[in-house]
Structure 1
């Protein structure tokens, strides 16, 4: 799948997969995702949400940018201390869980 990202920015980080899938589901459901939610996760072909590198840094940056909630892979939680951040961390293992959390 190839996507044209606004501004012609080249994106090759797999952590953007979860945001793209969320946007596609949002469009299909005709339901907006709140602007204070962000995503960091790789999506496999069977819908599993895979861990990504530098998750601590990604959460800190999302917090710094003012996001209130971030969805990450449940496989990224090892050694992660949610109390360190001023952002709600939501974990998902499959696309179905993401769908339920956002649109159900």
Structure 2
């Protein structure tokens, strides 16, 4: 049971990381293991709850996809602009500075 729950939590962690959602997975894992070890949770209920969390995380990830794509494009454009500025500055220095 622990192995299955830890695998599902790994899946959940991967979804959160991809969607840039911050969560303390160590605490989540510790709580899940404690629940399993205590025997106070029905395994099928635990797995159903974890599946629901994964579905919710996937939904949240999809809702963020457009924004994350735009951020990635913007960051790429900023990197390119920075590179061009560095290149132009280097070329200016190589050609004698301020043109004279």
Quickly name the TM-score band, shorter chain normalised.
Answer: 0.3 to 0.5
Larger Rg: 2
Higher strand share: 1
TM-score w.r.t. length of structure 2:
0.33
Higher relative contact order (CA 8 A, sep 6+): 2
